[in-house]
Amino acid sequence: MKKILVTGGTGYIGSHTVVELQEAGYEPIIIDDLSNSYIEVVDNIQSITGKRPAFEKTDLKDREATMEVFSRHNEIEAIIHFAALKAVGESVEKPIEYYKNNINSLIHLLEAMKLYNIDHFVFSSSCTVYGEPDELPVNEEAPVKKASSPYGNTKQISEEIIQDYIIPNSGKNFISLRYFNPIGAHPSAKIGELPTGIPNNLVPFITQTAIGIRDQLKVFGNDYNTPDGTAIRDYINVVDLARAHVVAIDRLLSGKNRSAFEVFNLGTGSGNSVLEIINTFEKATGKKINYTITGRREGDVEKVYADTSYANEELGWRAEKGLEETLLSAWKWEQKYRSEHT
Ligand code: UFG
């Protein structure tokens, strides 16, 4: 079985990807410092797939500790790098922490690739690199806009570092996956999104409001230039997103990539407004959401959704799950998790 190192493998997208990798016959090895996830996720992955992934509690900022993990696991074929700080607002408050964490982790992994002869790497990027796009749907050729937060900047800088790295390091291959808005949970409801504290993101805030942990959802602005005035995003099911990582790994390991640095948008190709998400959630679950309209959130773009044709054609991958099914999976996860943790 081919070994794939998954950093951030107990996190939200990471854990779903570990499951998909195992089901595709790969052997994922997780590195995570558990700064925003829980060790129980390893048990939950095992309970879905019947296989327990190797787990290394390691802080990727610690170069020595990181290298030590590589020295103990021979023949790692590829790295998927999820581990990162990801809260947009927090990154404005703590820019140095974001740069220190997200950039040093990447650099240590790039060094490890050289030292341990690992040729393949999948990077977690974000549609945030497009800012407010000039054209919609946005494709991979669209210009990278000035980042609106240190978090977004770490994604842009990381893509630049990778592009500089491949110049003198021939034989090293990278795929950068630009995620739109991942939502939902595994259909088993055994893994899902688990924000610590007050959720920043829309769907966890909705499910926590529905279950009574939050009193009221704030809808950030209804004066955007959109049909109902609320902002539009491309919400993609996390399992669909996870599957794309397996496809990217297959592509790299079989040498089908066209260049040493490829970029793909991962979205559904269609946009939904905040109110559409609330309405669809209510319809799918039968739960009413107490919400109020407030002012815009700083740094938010008006609308962004993906042109997915390149990913569809080149990767042979497309998002398959519908919005209702996805929101229902988020709700099932919230209910199951809370029933077991009260
Ligand atoms: N929203 C609300 N109320 C909330 C939370 C969100 O109205 O309590 C709205 C936002 O204003 C936005 C939409 O719901 O219009 C989606 O917001 P999220 O916070 O869920 O997602 P974002 O699109 O802001 O952020 C996501 C990722 C970031 C990434 C960004 C790139 O979470 O990591 O996309 O655009 F940087």
In a domain, 24, yes or no: yes
Looking at ligand 1, which residue's alpha carbon is closest to its atom 11? 220
In this prediction, residues 198-227 reach a mean pLDDT of 98
Pocket of ligand 1, candidates 154, 181, 272, 302: which has the most ligand atoms within 8 Å of its Cβ, to mutate? 181
Same domain, 143 and 207: no
In a domain, 18, yes or no: yes
For residues 169 and 121, what is the distance between their CA atoms, to the nearest angstrom?
13
Same domain, 262 and 326: no
Distance 328 CA to ligand 1 centre (A): 19
Same domain, 286 and 175: no
Same domain, 40 and 143: yes
Residue range(s) defining the domain that contains residue 210: 202-233+269-305+322-340
User: Out of 151, 165, 179, 305, which one is annotated catalytic?
Assistant: 151
* Residue 305 is among the residues annotated as catalytic for this protein: no
pLDDT of residue 129: 96
pLDDT value at 256 more than 90 = yes
Distance 317 CA to ligand 1 centre (A): 25
What total of structural domains would you count in the chain? Answer: 2
Distance 220 CA to ligand 1 centre (A): 9
Confidence of residue 342 (pLDDT cuts 50, 70, 90): confident
In this prediction, residues 59-63 reach a mean pLDDT of 98
Same domain, 110 and 215: no
Looking at ligand 1, which residue's alpha carbon is closest to its atom 21? 201
Same domain, 229 and 273: yes
Same domain, 228 and 238: no
For residues 101 and 83, what is the distance between their CA atoms, to the nearest angstrom?
9
Confidence of residue 279 (pLDDT cuts 50, 70, 90): very high
For residues 160 and 296, what is the distance between their CA atoms, to the nearest angstrom?
31
Looking at ligand 1, which residue's alpha carbon is closest to its atom 35? 128
pLDDT of residue 213: 97
**8-state DSSP, 178:** E
CATH code of 178's domain: 3.40.50.720
